[in-house]
Chains A and B, each alone.
Chain A
Amino acid sequence: MTELTLVQAVNRGLAEAMRADPDVLVLGEDVGLNGGVFRATEGLYKEFGGERVIDTPLSETGIVGTAIGMALYGLKPVAEIQFLDFIYPAYDQIVSELAKMRYRSGGQFPCHVVIRTPYGGGIKGGLYHSQSSEAYFCHTPGLKVIVPSTPADAKGLLLTAIHDEDPVLFLEPKRIYRSVTGDVPDGDHRVPFGVARTVREGTDVSMFAYGAMIPPVVEAAEALARDGVSAEVIDLRSLVPLDEAAVVRSVEKTGRAVIVHEAPRFCGFGAELAALLAERALYSLKAPIARVTGYDTPFPYSLEQVYLPNTEKILAAARATVAA
């Protein structure tokens, strides 16, 4: 075990995967000499050289398109998109090409690319350094969408992603890149996809979240505990594949659900969770499902703390649900 920040755990995972397999390489903007704008690729250029830590021209479609070609040829590229907000020039490559390559070729051309990208708000990044647009990608068959919230999961899920056979969008909560530290297993530590993590067990209300929303949800759960309310906190960590059983089981136990994400509410990932509970756990529900989300506005700059879900908003929603 080594105590690391979340971004250090990402870095550790990349380095270990590259040491273990010469086919693993990293490409993206400023990932080489500069070590990435968040330092996620720090030291890799020095250790593995410019042929495996490739500083690309400034083009997201170029990064993902070339990564697809590399993967088809047999390499294991890990592409970095500097911010999720800048992924849209590569959207066509991701949804039209990467996600569909195996299917449209009848299984002849599997295409395993990992795309890592920091997402989410809370760093005063304004419109274009704060978005949480995971729902666009979760809606695309063929992509796996992963969001760690702890250093151990960041490394373990990243290593699983690199060794998986399917394309993976790996969303890193940049707001907690450095504010969260934790023990990370050394060596080939892998966390399976499709298995939610129970952060805290409880019996009165289930709270579902992922990524940078986990710390305020845990804070809210602690505040509820002081009031005598037992809240269960589930870190989904794998949006696709989703651990549907864990979501349903938790609500069967508690009868109440609070869903938290920083993305806008309308057609957000929470809508899928709410639909799942309506289909599979309706008779267990003792109160309406609550969603605490970003507002249905573009992500603001000056008012970002007003926009983002926080402990108070989560607590208010949970109390209302429990009181209902």
Chain B
Amino acid sequence: MNDSAVLSVPHESAGGALSSARFLEAYRTMVLVRALDERCLALQRQGRIGFYAPHSGQEATLVGSALALEPDDWVFPAYRELAVALVRGVPLGAIVDQLYGNARDLARGRQMPNHFAFRDQHFVSASSPIGTQITQAVGAAMAAQRRKAPIVAITYFGDGATSSNDFHAGLNFAGVFNAPVLFLCQNNQWAISLPRSRQTRSATLAEKADAYGFPGVVVDGNDLRAVYGAVRSARERAVSGLGPTLIEAQVYRFGPHSTSDDPHRYRPDAEVDAAKGHDPLHLAKQVLLGDGRLDEATDAKIWEEARAAIAAAVTSAEAVPPPDPSSLFEDVFAVVPPGLEAERQTLLGAPPPREPSR
């Protein structure tokens, strides 16, 4: 391993520090999404939503990285990044509507929970195949480069995705074209049941960047300020024309991969307990308590407000009906073609339309 290519970034890095006011806001968002995890796991168990992929343990990385971005930047997420969408201004209600796939869901109930798409926030539609968003982010960055727009594309993926075709292709293209793209690997140590050591023999994931000719950075993903600093620095590098950066945020996935697996089958409880000793939420709270910007009473109030907001969003989402069956046939193409229109009419019980004439 080439140590020179793998930098460990201290939390007060060249990218600048997170202001006090933003730190407290960041903490509020971290609490909100932790509380959302708790609520959504329960909603799934009760059969009220179909699926959920929790992010507990990754909040500092999600919120810290999102705060380091600018509104015109583009985000190519995987499926554990709803906190990034929230930081970028997506309302909680829009996120909960997607989890329910109701008629108000901006993606029209087309995808499983956690596969978000929010055009206004440049939060690109997520898919389930692993790593496919990586090359797409590089393409968007190349397009921004061509338009001379001072922005970056950032893509989020996990440790498992570093084994994918698109990880290699994406990082390779990014290096060759010096694209303004940030690769944010949330190394949460587990790809469903497989530990990080079974994805690669490399000592770190960040050092893979060395082979592609740009810097790789390891950052403590539990440390909000460290993540913010690393992403901010990488962003400045990219918009200055210095090219991409791979950031490996080392975190730990406290919960299951999703509501469809039981982590007790593949990892010891002691490992989870040890990781929870570095809970990013706890670490952020300690910083705020130490600085006198937070006290226990205020903290309790933050939690209370978060749970109330979630309860309101859930109540609201559950009152909205599912999408109209007629919508099934829309957005396959820009215009519904005659064949699909005929299928729609059949579904709706109408007599099939007359032969399309020209």
Distance between Cα atoms of A17 and B261 in the complex (Å):
50
B100 within 8 A of A: no
- The answer to whether B132 and A102 have CB atoms under 8 Å apart is no
A69 touches B153 (CB 8 A): yes
Stretch at the interface among B11-19, B55-63, B221-229, B326-334: B326-334
Q: Which of A62, A67, A142, A242 contacts B169 (CB 8 A)?
A: A62
B125 touches A105 (CB 8 A): yes
Residue of A nearest to B328 (CB): A103
Which residues of chain B in 142-186 are interfacial with respect to chain A, using CB atoms and an 8 Å cutoff?
142-144, 146-147, 153, 165-166, 168-170, 172-173, 176-177
Chain A residues, CB < 8 A from B125: 101, 104-105, 108-109
How many angstroms between the C-alpha atoms of A69 and B139 in the bound complex?
Answer: 4
Interface of chain A residues 39 through 80 with chain B (CB within 8 A)? 51, 54, 56-57, 59, 61-62, 64-75, 77
CB pair B339 A61 closer than 8 Å: no
Instruction: State whether the Cβ of B298 lies closer than 8 Å to any Cβ in chain A.
Output: no
Contacts of A92 in B (CB 8 A): 129, 132, 165-166
- Shortest C-beta distance, B325 to chain A (Å), equals 15
Instruction: For B118, list chain A residues within 8 Å (CB).
Output: 108
The closest CB in chain B to the CB of A249 belongs to B355
Whole-angstrom distance between the alpha carbons of A45 and B339 in the complex?
40
Shortest CB distance B243–A (Å): 15
Contact flag A65-B331 (CB < 8 Å), given A75-B143, A100-B127, A106-B107: no
**B142 contacts A70, CB within 8 Å?**
yes
Residues A106 and B110 in contact, CB atoms below 8 Å apart: yes
Could you say which residues of chain B place their CB within 8 Å of the CB of A89?
165
Q: Are A109 and B117 in contact (CB-based, < 8 A)?
A: yes
Quick one: CB contact mask for A159-183 with B, threshold 8 Å, 1 for yes? 0000011100000000000000000
B107 x A96 contact (CB < 8 A): no
- Contact assessment for B331 and A102 in the assembled complex, using a CB-CB cutoff below 8 Å: yes
Q: Does A228 contact B (CB under 8 A)?
A: no
Cα A106 to Cα B140 in complex, Å, equals 20
Q: How far is the CA of A93 from the CA of B176 in the complex (A)?
A: 20
Distance, CA A105 to CA B177, complexed state (A): 29
**Is B115 an interface position by the 8 A CB rule?**
yes
- Please give the distance in Å from A1's CB to the nearest CB on chain B: 25
| Nearest A-chain residue to B130, judged by Cβ | A92
Contact indicator A62/B358 (Cβ below 8 Å):
no
Q: Give every chain A residue within 8 A of B166 (Cβ-Cβ).
A: 61-62, 65, 92-93
Please state if B337 and A61 are interface contacts (CB–CB under 8 Å).
Answer: no
| Max count, chain A CB within 10 A of own CB: residue among B107, B108, B333 | B333
Please measure, in the bound complex, the distance between the C-alpha atom of A93 and the C-alpha atom of B139, giving whole angstroms: 13
| A65: B residues at CB distance < 8 A | 132, 134-136, 138-139, 166, 169-170
CB contacts (< 8 Å) of A141 on chain B: these are 332
Cβ distance B46 to chain A, nearest Cβ, rounded Å: 26
- Distance in angstroms from A113 CB to nearest chain B CB is 9
A287 to B202, CA, bound (A): 65
A93 lies within 8 A of B132 (CB) = yes
- Complex CA gap A72/B141 in Å reads 11
Is residue B137 contacting chain A, with contact meaning CB distance below 8 A?
Answer: yes
Within the assembled complex, what's the spacing in Å between the Cα atoms of A51 and B179?
12
Is the Cβ of A62 less than 8 Å from the Cβ of B355?
Answer: no
The distance in angstroms between the C-alpha atoms of A142 and B333, with both chains bound, is 6
* A66 in contact with B107 (CB, 8 Å): no
Given contacts A68-B136, A106-B106, contact A61 B165 (CB under 8 A): yes
B136, closest chain A residue (CB)? A69
Contact A104 B332, CB 8 Å, known A69-B142, A73-B144, A194-B337: no
Contact assessment for A107 and B108 in the assembled complex, using a CB-CB cutoff below 8 Å: yes
A106 & B143 in contact (Cβ 8 Å cutoff) = no
Q: Using known A-B contacts A72-B140, A166-B334, determine if residue A106 contacts B108 with beta carbons closer than 8 Å.
A: yes
Residues of B within 8 A of A70 (CB): 139-140, 142-143
Measured CA separation A57–B331 after assembly (Å): 33
Rounded to whole Å, the gap between the CB of B99 and the closest CB of chain A is: 15
Q: Contact mask A8-51 → B, CB, 8 Å, 1/0?
A: 00000000000000000100000000000000000000000001
Bound form: Cα–Cα A94–B57 in Å = 34
Alpha-carbon separation in the docked complex, A75 to B149 (Å):
13
Q: Is B220 engaged at the interface, CB distance under 8 Å to the other chain? A: no
B259 within 8 A of A: no
Q: Contact flags (1/0) for A247-278 with B, using CB distance below 8 Å?
A: 01000000000000000000000000000000
CB–CB B140/A104 < 8 A: no
A244-B340 Cα distance, complex, nearest whole Å: 13
Residues of B within 8 A of A123 (CB): none
A72→B76 CA distance, assembly (Å): 11
Residues from chain A with a CB closer than 8 A to the CB of B146 are: 25, 51, 75
B172: chain A residues at CB < 8 Å are 57, 59, 62
Q: Is A215 an interface residue (CB 8 A)?
A: no
Centre residue among B111, B117, B142 by max chain A CB count within 10 A:
B142
* A110 in the interface (beta carbon within 8 A): yes
Per-position binary interface string of chain A over residues 279-316, scored 1 when its CB falls under 8 Å from any chain B CB and 0 otherwise: 00000000000000000000000000000000000000
Contact check, B139 vs A73: say whether CB atoms are below 8 A apart: yes
Q: Determine whether A225 belongs to the interface, using a CB cutoff of 8 Å to chain B.
A: no
Q: How far is the CB of B79 from chain A (nearest CB, A)?
A: 12
- Beta-carbon contact of A69 and B76 below 8 Å: yes
Q: Is A241 an interface residue (CB 8 A)?
A: yes
Indicate if B248 sits at the interface (CB-CB under 8 A). Answer: no
Residues in A whose Cβ lies below 8 Å from that of B332:
102-103, 141-142
Known: A62-B173, A104-B107, A141-B332. A244 touches B339 (CB 8 A): yes
23 A-B residue pairs with CB within 8 Å = A59-B169, A59-B173, A62-B135, A62-B138, A65-B138, A65-B139, A67-B139, A68-B139, A69-B138, A69-B139, A69-B142, A71-B139, A72-B139, A96-B129, A100-B127, A106-B105, A108-B119, A109-B117, A109-B125, A164-B334, A241-B339, A245-B356, A245-B357
Q: Which residues from chain A sit less than 8 Å from chain B, CB to CB?
A: 25, 51, 54, 56-57, 59, 61-62, 64-75, 77, 89, 92-93, 96-97, 100-110, 141-142, 144, 164-166, 194-195, 241-242, 244-245, 248
7 tightest A-B CB contacts, nearest first: A69-B139, A65-B135, A66-B139, A62-B169, A106-B108, A105-B117, A73-B143
